Structure 1
Amino acid sequence: MNYYLHIMIERHIQPLLQTLLTHFPCVVLTGVRQCGKTTLLNTLGSEWHHFDMENSADRQQLLADPDLFLRLHDDKLVIDEAQLAPPLFSALRVAIDRDRARKGRFLLSGSGSPELVTQISESLAGRVARVEMSPLSLSEAWQQPPSALYSLLTQGAPMPELQAAALARLTVQQVRDFWFAGGYPEPWLSNSEEFRNLWQRNYIDTYLLRDIGALFPSLNRDRFRQFVALLSQHSGNIINNADIARTLGVSEPTVRDWLRIAHDTYLWRHIPAWDRSAAKQLVKHPKGYLRDSGLLHRLLRIPDPQMLATHPVVGKSWEGMVVETLLRGFENAGIEVEPFHYRTRGGAEIDLILEGRFGNAQLLPVEIKLTQHGDKRALRSLSEFVATHHCPLGLVINNDERARWLDERILAIPAACL
């Protein structure tokens, strides 16, 4: 695949971005490095003026006099990597308030940065909309339109509609190719396996040595590298800070700080425990996933899909990819959901509990299976949760060829429909 194809891939978040620009004077697009933010911004049209804060000339032009700069560029202004120009934000607040009713004037982008989040919450509160962009989703990677399933779930659509929308749009091989490679656009679109390996290795080094070092200058990068390697081994598992601290020879507060850094820079997906049940003794520890399956496999030194198929992490890797695909689908559709995991001290477990609006319900429990067919006996925890919490629906996501009802309120759908 070539670069031309890269710039032509349709990103499912684009309609949401355009909608937000019609309602807010400023929109902030955040996301991990190399997920495609700049490429997306370049599709906005020639009326938009672009300035990149990683370009020293652009940065100096803005920082020389931020207020004057924004008076000269008071409409259709894109500022890429905005976190590198902190004085921008207070000047932007003044520029927005000068004409608060005018929408779609400013569009900022930025990688994971506490500085960016702080400036948005302190300087631009109430004036901006923030949206997170991820690497390619499963359907984006294979240039499929967004699945209708996400909106139907939130509408509480009738069961036949849900089943009809859950048609497999991809082959099992396509799903497995994406699962192994991950969703970063540049390596995904390369035909060279050598390039993919080199890209992933250098991406990890850049993330660890450049981004993290710049954002957290006092961080011990060698120890943090060890932490990230260890984190890959815990992807999909309950996270016990004390165990990780003992392994690395650091304090528990240090581990908490490092987990926060990994989550805030979009490397790690923190999944808290669901603890709303008074009738059950629940495990309160969180779990989490390395957000990109390709980077996970690189860190675990899994060189090919054949080794992945027999590796001890195969089930957790698959689970993490499906969780991330689901959450990206809801995010791209502008649908707000909160992810949790569920485990009782008696051993009952559900991979994912989504809190949001699902028709008249607020909970959607999801079980994820690598196998083709779901076993009803293995889904006892899901069935009990659906009954206890009066959920109209529970989902099983597997590798089947089509959607099937496993129970009156449990629908199994293929990952290839997402």
Structure 2
Amino acid sequence: MNRYLEKYIQKDLKRKIVLLTGPRQTGKTTLAKMLKENFDYFNYDNAEHRLSLMAKTWDRSRDLVIFDELHKMKNWKSWLKGIYDTEKIPPSLIVTGSAKLDAYKKVGDSLAGRFFEFRLHPLDMKEIKTVLGTEDLEGKLDRLLKLGGFPEPYLEDDEIYYNRWKRSHLDIILKQDLVDLENLRHITSIETLIQLLKKKVGSPISYRSLAEDLQCSDKTIKRWLSVLETLYVVFKIPPYHKNISRSLLKAPKYYFYDTGQVPDEPGMKLENLVACSLLKEIHF
């Protein structure tokens, strides 16, 4: 499946490092591997790959080198900056990751002026029409509302499969990505917070109310929500007001990147899907 960012990334790879982020399992690695036939691939979660990265032993004759989850390396930006400054391009360099890269504390030096960043979102109706055609758009929309826009479950088109995928997807985020990002011990509470947010899609969120439900402080709730944003589980929409200071005081709304996570209430699902589509256009 050709994704909407492909031709833009292809162009930018000729000049800069490309950072490709977005929710887990939106197809970032698959997209990266489609960019060039002749590539080297390294995943920082793989012990053998980590040794190769430390030794910088990739094949310089390749057209592309893919660094997956490189942001988990200490001082990864300094390391990448050194490679770019001394070796230049080619080979082209792309870094993929399932979290907002600047949130990691292992940042090191700045990559300013050396990269372009892209965020790969799940499928929406605009992309589905382009990739899968315009036949039975109503059926495709119903599937999108029911199963969400992550490519694997959407293309599988099986609700039982999606329910298994959904549980596994969230489990990996909570037990792997969350631990990598911060030393949080309250995974059960964060899981409960996610369940509470699902019921409040489209409604202004009261931090105080959530804090009372989870028996913690407002500050803790805000921190947990920030982590969920960093891991691309939810995103925040602040209220609009001509007076910016007033808008900061009003309660925001939170939406899920996976519309399939939203309770089976048509209005909530549709609002979440529209919010996702608008955010995708803004990031594009």
| Distance in 1 (alpha carbons) for counterparts of 2:110 and 2:5 | 25
> In the alignment, which residue of structure 2 is the partner of 1:10?
2
Matched, 1:209 2:175: yes
SS in 1 for 2:34: coil
Matched, 1:107 2:73: no
SS in 1 for 2:14: helix
Tell whether the 8 Å contact from 2:62 to 2:91 is kept in structure 1 after alignment: no
Q: Deviations over 1:351-396 (max 9, x none)?
A: xxxxxxxxxxxxxxxxxxxxxxxxxxxxxxxxxxxxxxxxxxxxxx
One-letter amino acid of the structure 2 residue matched with residue 252 of structure 1: D
| Distance in 2 (alpha carbons) for counterparts of 1:178 and 1:194 | 15
Tell whether the 8 Å contact from 2:178 to 2:184 is kept in structure 1 after alignment: no
> In the alignment, which residue of structure 2 is the partner of 1:398?
none
Tell whether the 8 Å contact from 1:236 to 1:317 is kept in structure 2 after alignment: no
**Bigger relative contact order (CA 8 A; separation at least 6):** 2
One-letter amino acid of the structure 2 residue matched with residue 321 of structure 1: L
Match of 2:40 among 49, 57, 60: 49
Matched, 1:251 2:217: yes
> In the alignment, which residue of structure 2 is the partner of 1:324?
276
> In the alignment, which residue of structure 1 is the partner of 2:230?
264
| Distance in 2 (alpha carbons) for counterparts of 1:319 and 1:292 | 12
1:86-97 pair list within 5 angstroms = 86-97=74-85
Q: 1:275: how far off?
A: 2.7
Tell whether the 8 Å contact from 1:27 to 1:128 is kept in structure 2 after alignment: yes
Q: Deviations over 1:322-343 (max 9, x none)?
A: 1211222343xx3xxxxxxxxx
One-letter amino acid of the structure 2 residue matched with residue 315 of structure 1: G
SS in 1 for 2:205: coil
Tell whether the 8 Å contact from 2:6 to 2:35 is kept in structure 1 after alignment: no
Q: 1:134: how far off?
A: 1.4
Match of 1:82 among 56, 60, 70: 70
| Distance in 2 (alpha carbons) for counterparts of 1:121 and 1:271 | 30
Match of 2:27 among 27, 32, 36: 36
> In the alignment, which residue of structure 1 is the partner of 2:50?
59
Given the superposition, is the C-alpha separation of residues 248 and 170 from structure 1 closer, same or farther in structure 2, using an over 3 Å criterion? same
One-letter amino acid of the structure 1 residue matched with residue 67 of structure 2: I
| Distance in 2 (alpha carbons) for counterparts of 1:259 and 1:281 | 19
Q: 1:74: how far off?
A: 8.9
> TM-score, normalized by length of structure 2?
0.87
Given the superposition, is the C-alpha separation of residues 136 and 328 from structure 1 closer, same or farther in structure 2, using an over 3 Å criterion? same
The alignment covers a number of residue pairs equal to 283
> TM-score, normalized by length of structure 1?
0.61
SS in 2 for 1:319: helix
> In the alignment, which residue of structure 2 is the partner of 1:284?
250
Q: 1:87: how far off?
A: 4.5
Q: 1:261: how far off?
A: 0.7
> In the alignment, which residue of structure 2 is the partner of 1:98?
86
Matched, 1:126 2:118: no
SS in 2 for 1:269: strand
User: Which runs of no fewer than 5 residues in structure 1 stay unpaired?
Assistant: 1-8, 147-167, 298-307, 335-418
Q: 1:77: how far off?
A: 1.4
Tell whether the 8 Å contact from 1:53 to 1:80 is kept in structure 2 after alignment: yes
| Distance in 1 (alpha carbons) for counterparts of 2:112 and 2:42 | 23
SS in 1 for 2:94: strand
Given the superposition, is the C-alpha separation of residues 116 and 43 from structure 1 closer, same or farther in structure 2, using an over 3 Å criterion? farther
| Distance in 1 (alpha carbons) for counterparts of 2:238 and 2:148 | 24
The structure with more helix, counted as a fraction of residues:
2
One-letter amino acid of the structure 1 residue matched with residue 125 of structure 2: L
Tell whether the 8 Å contact from 2:21 to 2:101 is kept in structure 1 after alignment: no
> In the alignment, which residue of structure 2 is the partner of 1:395?
none
Structure 1 residue ranges, 4+ long, deviating more than 6 angstroms after superposition: 280-283
One-letter amino acid of the structure 2 residue matched with residue 135 of structure 1: P
Task: Flag the structure with larger Rg.
Answer: 1
| Distance in 2 (alpha carbons) for counterparts of 1:281 and 1:110 | 32
State the Cα RMSD in Å: 2.9
| Distance in 1 (alpha carbons) for counterparts of 2:90 and 2:279 | 28
Tell whether the 8 Å contact from 1:83 to 1:113 is kept in structure 2 after alignment: no
